[in-house]
Structure formats: structure tokens, C-alpha cells
Amino acid sequence: MSKRKMPALIDLIEAGRPVEHHAPWRRAMVAPKTWNLAVEQLAEGRWSMLGLWGEPEIVHMALLDAADIGVISLKCPGGRYPSVGQLHPPALRLERTAADLFGLSPQGLPDTRRWLDHGQWGISYPLAAGASAARSQAPTTASAYRFLPAEGDGLHQIPVGPVHAGIIEPGHFRFTASGETVVRLEERLGYVHKGIEGLMAGSPVERAARLAGRTSGDSTVAYSLAFARAVEAALGVEAPPRAVWLRALMAELERLANHLGDIGAICNDAAFALMHAHCGVLRERVLRAGDAAFGHRLMRDRIVPGGVASDLGEAGMAAVLSAITEIRQRFPYLVELYDNTASLQDRTVATGRLKPELARQYAAGGYVGRASGRDFDARRSPGYPPYDELAFDVPVLQEGDVNARVWIRIREVEQSLSLVEQILERLPDGPISVGIPEPPREGMALDGMALVEGFRGDILAWLRIGAGGLVERCHLRDPSWFQWPLLEAAIEGNIVADFPLCNKSFNCSYSGHDL
Amino acid sequence: MALILELAVQGAQMMLVLLLAPLLTGFVRKVKARLQRRRGPSLIQPYRDLLRLMRKEVVLADTASWLFRVIPYLIFAATWVAAALIPTFATGLTFSWTADLIAIVALLGSARFFLALAGMDVGTSFGGIGASREVMIASLAEPAMLLIVFSLALVAGATQLSTVAAVMGSPELGLRVSLGMSLIALVMVALAENARIPVDNPSTHLELTMVHEAMVLEYSGRHLAMIEFAAFLKLLLYVSLISCVFIPWGLVTARSGPGAYALGVAVYIGKLAVAGILLAVFETAIAKMRVFRVPDFLGAALMLALLGTLLLFVSRSL
């Protein structure tokens, strides 16, 4: 095996049967042998997995080989396919989800428990081909979830959630602790499953775009952008330059608002409310600037396939500029405050350390990956306009602790400030949207795909537009899919009381994950 | 007639702590909010909260025993008595002979013991976590407190607070290193005992980091009101104790007339306000420490108190 030349992703795709109309990257139907070869590459850490999703009787996997992206698809006769998760753990939850939604059963998957399906839906396999048949069946019953065992003297379990004391989203955490030290943490998610992929199937592009923008509220711009870019890739249209630049402006404002909020919230979890208050003020400035510039604080539904929905006027530009100027003045003091408060540093340094190997294996995006040495940013590679014309750095640290994740955010705030300034300076004139072309001919399907850097990390959107311009299937993969499992790893050996701090430094999305 | 008057003054002192305790907590919250550039809730919000809780229905866990229902009243009573014993505006009141430092420590200790019991009574994991953390803190805070008491007793020749205050206020005492150490130790113990930052965070919603709040998580309605009130009283108690022992100026002696009493009360409220501002500033400037750092923190308090006592012994025997 080792003597053979290592296959490149491109070889694998060419070994399969390429699918027509799949843009911008290639997709191929492959044989089980090729599929297994890809799994091997993943397990040996040469490639990264960007996503794994199902369709009735088909399973797709998006792969990243250096800077090359490709999708391989495998027919699943009888719903069976060779499991990826048995050799490459990051696929575990994705495979369990595909099993819940499509009834696809991965052969050899060690963990066959349900994931998103808690037995409360009243139907099983809601997205499978014979869904109408399954619907009439007796509702599935909720059975007790078997948490992974941890045995030993003096171990005790602490169940936390799904309803928490604060106003946050629901998720269950099962701690096994020895005194205060966490021996194992197991998450159980899926409480906010909204069936977005099911709702999108068969809906017009406009409605699907609105649904995409509601996948995870704090990343609404990034999701809309990912969806719009996927639609444009499928239909072969290009948004006009002004729209492209306005999109980047919104995305950076969203990143600014969320990072500022996070920096404050992490400090607040160490009971340092002063940072929280000051960062909250700055975050509010960004949100108000977004409202003044685009008519919505979170800029929801402002990015649409074909362009943007609202243009930036003189007043809006001034509002954004004044917010940026204010943050530029005040943010350095907050960074200094963070860096010079010894009691705060004592909490964040060396807490919740995530090993770089794990970050690489799970292809962790965003600050989680970058704080643990994974140098990846979808804005830079594969890259999308207008970032190729803008100057920015991607900060990377090796420590992987809470402190490193805070510093990545701090550096990214600085980069985003500079990006916003560059965008405002060079914003081109022109129309802000183009029309969506005629729907494809009967019987023809167009696939589109996009990878967009949200504040948490890379968001993958994959969709197929079929007859009448309706979305046949759309899959949105939140960065949290590859971050939630790492939180379990990062907390191990820490103390129970430090979990909120670690959790906040990851700040994974429940809604985007549960979809 | 004189006796009735004296009893009335003593009663006024007991009511005074009850009335002022929520105000002190409200004031600290207000100052903290202003320091964070927030407007903050009104000063009388703690009173409103207590009233609201008193009116609310009590929700009891199925597994709660009678102990769980009785304990809030026990805690409130013990803390109130302890708080009322401390000379706030006047020394030498009718019941001042009961104001013994060791009695106060014992009262607070039993209140804590019952609270830890209540935390474990329902059998939830958070109650257990809170109780175990609280007892860990107490096992270091109580010895430190007792050592502080010994230092004071060595200086004043008594553990009775009126006497201690009189000795501490007298000009011939002078500056003493050991007393400085005791003061620092007492402040540290007070922070830990009142579940303040950096030991605990009184305003957190994170159930996994709580100490005091985790124990009372299962309480509701009037039971919770009692426990909250006891917490307000405890804060007032420690502020009163520190000001009575270490800054006894402005304390009037008993039977000195209504004008002097009024002045004493005014000075006392002034001291509370200064302490409240200092507490708020301190809490704003510092983050909470890791749970396992708390023993280091309290260990330092214990060492300071011990050093203070030793220094006194050494200086006496020479």
C-alpha cells in the first residue's frame, strides 16, 4: 500500500463517472472500491472531510486535498454503504444523521444510535424516497438514549441540560466526573431540529434562500451567502461586482459583531463582567451600523441569489465608517485590559487545550482550528471574490487553549476592521443584482456548491436545482459539526467548573448543527 | 422606663440590620452596574425581589424531606441573630454581652451546615456539587476566622465585641502588624463566605460554576426568599463586623441619647456605603478564580491569621 503512489483527489474523481452540471468543483459517482480508497486517505490524515450527506439511495462526501475540492458520490443499494466513520471518526455524527433522515445504513459504523431523531418526530427517515409511506407508519417511540459508559471507582455523572439556567439554546451534556475532574463528556444534540433540509426540498429558490438564512441566527449573512453562491454556481450566473463587495461588507460586519460579543462573553464566564459590558457596547455599535446600512441589525435576507437585496447609501456608509472608527479607537484598550488582568489570564491560559492533531483530523474550521494550528480560511483558499483583491492575514496559533481562541478572535477583529475599511474605500458602482435565469429544462438538474467562511468557520452549501427552478435537495453543513466533538476532547481532564469557559470559547451553534 | 428604652434601642438595632441588608446588596449591584456603564436595577430591587418571592408558590421536589422545608427558616434565624449581635451604631446595648465573636462564628457555621444538608437533601447533582464545594471552602475559611478571633481576643483580652471595639478604638493601641494581617485575612474570609468574586459569582447563570447558588437551586417561593434574605444579612454582617472591629470610630456608647444615636446610625450607613463601593470596585476589577485555586486563596488567609496570632504571642513573651 505504502509503495503505491498516493492518489490525488483528482485521480479519484477521474476514476469515477463525472457528473455533468456540478459547479464549481467536480463530482463523480464512484465505485465502492474508490470510496474505500478515499476513506483510507482520510483515515491516514492526507485529506480532510468537508461534509457527508445523504440523498435517497445515494451518499455524498465532500473532500479537501490540499487546495483541491471534490465530491464523491456512492450508490447505496438497499440503503447500505461502507461506513466512513469506522475509520475516520469525524464522519460519525454525519453518518448517524444521514441514517436518521434517509435510512442509509453505514456498514461497520460502530455507533448506531440515533442522532438528530429523538423519536419525537412521529415518522422515521423523513427524507427517504418512500417518506410518504413511512409517514403512515406508527410513530417511532422515544427510547432511552444509551450514553457511553465510563466505569471506575468514585465516578459520578452530572447531567446538564437540555434546558439551561441561562438564555441559551438547548443541548444535553452528560459529564462523568471524578470529583471535580471531567473523565468524559458526551453531548446529545438535535433538540432544535427544524427540518430545514426537508422544507427546502421542492421549494422555489427565493423561499429556500430565506430558509437558509434562518439556519443559525448569528450566521445568517454567512448562510445566505453560502446558499446564494451555490445557486449562482449551479445556474452559472455571477453576481455584479457591487453586490459581491457589499456581501463581503456584510460578512465582515457579522464577523465583527460575533467576535466582539464572544470575547466579552468568554470573559463574563470567568465572572469578569467589565469586558462583557464594554464588548457589548461595541457589538451594539456594529449591529446598529448594520441596521443603518442595510435595514436589519443582523442583515438577514439581505443577500439573495443573484446579488443583494438592498444597496448601501451615503448615510449607511457613514454609519459603518463611524462604528469602525469608534471600535478602532476603543478596542485596543480592551485588548490591553484582557492581557493585563492576571486573574483572567489565570483562567484562560492552559484551559481546555485542543491538540493540533485533533483539529487537523476533524478539519476544524474557524477560531477552533486556527487556535490549534490549522491554517485554513475559506476566504483565502479555495477563496472567493472579492477577497482575492483584499489584503488580510489569517492568524494562527498553536496553543489551542481558551486564551488562544480569544486571541484568534482579537486578531480577526483587527483584520475585519481593516477589511471593512478596504471595502468601503474601493466599493465599485453598478447594479446590485442580476436576474436568475430560466429554470433548467425538464429532466435536467444543476448542482451547485459553495464554501464560505462564517465567523465560526467554513460553511458548506450544496444544492441541486431541478425542473421549474425548484430546489430538489439542499444540504447545509455548519462548521459546528466538526467542532462539537472536539469540545468533548478539549474538556477532558479539566474541571467541571471550567466547562462553561471552554464551551463559550468554542461557541458552537446548536441551531446550525441540528438544522 | 430606662429598661424599656434600652430594649427599644436594642430592638431598633435588630430591625436596622433587617432593613438595611437588602439595601446594601442593592447598592453593591448598582455600583457594579454603573462601573460597567449600565444603568442597573433600582436600589430597592432586592426588597421587591423578596416581596415577589414571598408571594410566589413554593415548588418542592418529590424527594425533598421535612428538613428541606425547615432549613430556610433556620438559616434566616441564625444569620439574623448573628447579624443583630454585632454592634452596628452603638456598643454596650442591653444584649451586647451575647455579642461574642465565637458565638457569631458558631451561628454562621451552623447555618452553613444546614444549607449544605439542604443542598444534598433533594439528591440532584448540582446540590451535591454546591455542597461539596461549599464545605471545601468552609473547611479553610472557618479555621482562618477562628484564628482572627484569637488574635483579636489576645489584643482586647475578650471575645465580646463591645469590649473589642472599645479597645480597638482606644488611642493607646497604636498600629500593630498583627492586626493588619488579621484585617486582610478577615476581608478574604468575608469574600469567600459571602460567595463574592473571586471565590464565587453571585450573579452567574452557569450552573456548573456555582457554589452557593448551586446549593439553593432547588428552592423557590418563600423558602428562596428566606435564603436570599439570609445572604443579604450575611453580607451586612461581615461589613458590620469589619467596621466594628477595625474602624470602631463613630460608634456611640449606650444610653447617650437620641441625638448621638442618630449620629451613630448616620456614621454606620456611611461606613456601609464605603464598604459597598470598595466591594463593587474590587469585584469589577478581578475575574473569578478556578475552583481549585480557592484553597490557595483561603490558605493565604489562614496563614495571615496564623502569623498575626503568632506575632502577638512572640511580642508578648518578650
Give the ipTM of the model, two decimals please.
0.85
Residue A162 in contact with partner chain B when CB distance is under 8 A: no
Q: Provide the number of CB pairs (under 8 Å) joining chain A to chain B.
A: 78
Q: Which three cell numbers stand for residue A95?
A: 453518518
Q: Which three cell numbers stand for residue B287?
A: 475575574
The answer to whether the Cβ–Cβ distance between B290 and A497 falls below 8 Å is yes
Rounded to whole angstroms, how far apart are CA atoms B123 and A515? 35
Q: What is the pTM of this model?
A: 0.90
Length of chain B: 318
Q: A475: Cβ–Cβ under 8 A, 6 or more apart, which residues?
A: A51, A53, A60, A197, A460, A461, A462, A463
Q: Quickly state the pLDDT bin for B290 (edges 50, 70, 90).
A: confident
Residue A278 in contact with partner chain B when CB distance is under 8 A: yes
Q: Which three cell numbers stand for residue A109?
A: 459504523
Please report the pLDDT score of residue B318 as a whole number: 55
Q: Are A92 and A118 in contact (CB under 8 A)?
A: no
Rounded to whole angstroms, how far apart are CA atoms A238 and A228? 10
Is the peptide bond preceding residue A162 cis, with omega within 30 degrees of 0?
yes
The answer to whether the Cβ–Cβ distance between A156 and B198 falls below 8 Å is no
Rounded to whole angstroms, how far apart are CA atoms A262 and A43? 33
Rounded to whole angstroms, how far apart are CA atoms B198 and B191? 8
Distance from CA of B306 to the nearest CA of A (A): 26
Nearest CA to A222 among A262, A259, A252, A244?
A: A252
Please report the pLDDT score of residue A444 as a whole number: 81
Please report the pLDDT score of residue A372 as a whole number: 94
Average pLDDT over residues B64-87: 93
pLDDT in tens, B37-54: 889 999 999 999 999 999
Output the tens digit of pLDDT for each of chain A's 515 residues. Answer: 444 567 788 888 888 888 888 888 899 999 998 999 999 989 998 899 999 999 988 999 999 988 889 999 999 988 899 999 999 999 999 999 999 999 889 999 888 889 998 888 888 888 887 654 455 454 555 668 888 888 888 888 888 878 887 778 899 999 998 888 899 999 999 999 999 999 999 899 999 999 999 999 999 999 999 999 999 999 989 999 999 999 999 999 999 999 999 999 999 988 898 999 999 999 999 999 999 999 999 999 999 999 999 999 999 999 999 999 999 999 999 999 999 998 899 999 999 999 999 999 999 989 999 999 999 999 998 899 899 999 999 999 999 999 999 999 999 999 999 999 999 999 999 999 988 887 767 778 889 999 999 999 999 999 999 888 889 999 999 999 999 999 999 998 898 888 989 999 999 999 999 98
Please report the pLDDT score of residue A132 as a whole number: 47
Distance from CA of B206 to the nearest CA of A (A): 7
Rounded to whole angstroms, how far apart are CA atoms A247 and A244? 5
Give me the residues paired with residue A260 across strands.
none
Does the pLDDT value for residue B225 go beyond 60?
A: yes
**Every domain of chain B and the residues it spans:** 2-312
Residue A338 in contact with partner chain B when CB distance is under 8 A: no
Phi, psi of A297 (to 5 degrees): -60, -40
How many angstroms from the chain centroid is the CA of residue A316? 29
Give the B window 111-130 contacts with A, CB below 8 Å: 125-126, 129
pLDDT in tens, B112-143: 999 999 999 988 888 888 998 999 999 999 99
Q: Which of B135, B208, B282, B291 would best serve as a mutation to test chain A binding (most A beta carbons within 10 A)? A: B208
The answer to whether the Cβ–Cβ distance between B289 and A346 falls below 8 Å is yes
Distance from CA of B317 to the nearest CA of A (A): 41
Q: Are B207 and B215 in contact (CB under 8 A)?
A: no
Q: A42: Cβ–Cβ under 8 A, 6 or more apart, which residues?
A: A48, A49, A63, A84, A87, A88, A91
Please report residues of B whose CB lies closer than 8 A to that of A272. Answer: 286-288
- The helices-and-strands tally (H runs, E runs) of chain B is 11, 2
Residue matched to cell numbers 450573579: B203
Task: Identify the CATH number of the domain defined by range A153-191+478-515.
Answer: 3.30.390
**Distances in Å between the alpha carbon of B91 and those of B107, B165, B248, B251?**
20, 8, 10, 7
Phi, psi of A445 (to 5 degrees): -125, 140
Q: Which residue of A has its CA nearest to B132?
A: A179
pLDDT in tens, B172-190: 777 788 889 999 999 999 9
Strands of the sheet with A155-160, listed across from one edge: A155-160, A172-178, A181-188
**Every domain of chain A and the residues it spans:** 9-129, 153-191+478-515, 238-435
Please report the pLDDT score of residue A1 as a whole number: 42
Average pLDDT over residues B101-114: 93
Task: Identify the CATH number of the domain defined by range A9-129.
Answer: 3.30.460.80
Say what percent of chain B tops pLDDT 90. Answer: 55
Residue B198 in contact with partner chain A when CB distance is under 8 A: yes
Rounded to whole angstroms, how far apart are CA atoms A495 and B208? 10
Q: Are A476 and A459 in contact (CB under 8 A)?
A: yes
Fold of A238-435: Cytochrome-c3 Hydrogenase; chain B (1.10.645)
Rounded to whole angstroms, how far apart are CA atoms B105 and B317? 28
Q: A80: Cβ–Cβ under 8 A, 6 or more apart, which residues?
A: A104, A105, A106, A107
The answer to whether the Cβ–Cβ distance between B36 and A269 falls below 8 Å is no
Residue matched to cell numbers 424531606: B65
Please report the pLDDT score of residue B3 as a whole number: 85
